[in-house]
């Protein structure tokens, strides 16, 4: 799977670890920055991830910040993106099963490293259920 990563300065450490983890699983990973913990304006790094996922260049996107809230908001402003803010494995599972999310947002200050990696694995491994959720997705995409 082709996966794009982006963060703000508060998510850089987990972003790098997640990138290494994804590569170890055989995924093609593109880190769109930043590459240090120097303060940055996170929309400059999050929006390009969302745009490239929406354009189909990448199948999934993962964005990170301190809480993950701002990153999810920025990503969800891009038409065609369904970015779920995940704080545990169950939230990652449901955002895929019920919402067909193509991106997730994580807060480096909100979850420990092991949980972050488990969320990522769940996000990638969980299929969309379809069926009764299809109508909801059409409504979400129409808004």
CA–CA dist 94, 10 (Å, integer):
26
- Residue identified by tokens 């969302």 is 50
Q: Indicate if 98 belongs to the active site.
A: yes
- Residue identified by tokens 């990153």 is 71
- Residue identified by tokens 């092991």 is 114
Find the catalytic residue in 71, 90, 129, 133: 71
Find the catalytic residue in 27, 30, 97, 98: 98
Beta strands in the chain (DSSP E): 2-7, 28-31, 60-65, 83-85, 103-107
Active site residues: 71, 98
């Amino acid at each position: 799977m082709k996966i794009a990563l982006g963060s703000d300065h508060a998510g850089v450490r987990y972003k790098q670890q997640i990138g290494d983890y994804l590569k170890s699983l055989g995924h093609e990973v593109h880190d769109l920055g930043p590459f240090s913990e120097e303060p940055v304006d996170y929309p400059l790094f999050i929006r390009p991830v969302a745009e490239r996922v929406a354009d189909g260049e990448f199948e999934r996107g993962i964005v990170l910040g301190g809480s993950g809230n701002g990153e999810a908001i920025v990503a969800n402003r891009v038409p065609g993106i369904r970015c779920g803010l995940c704080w545990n494995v169950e939230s990652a599972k449901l955002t895929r099963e019920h919402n067909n999310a193509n991106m997730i947002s994580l807060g480096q200050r909100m979850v420990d490293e092991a949980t972050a990696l488990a969320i990522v694995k769940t996000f990638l491994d969980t299929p969309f259920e379809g069926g009764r959720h299809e109508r909801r997705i059409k409504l979400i995409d129409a808004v």
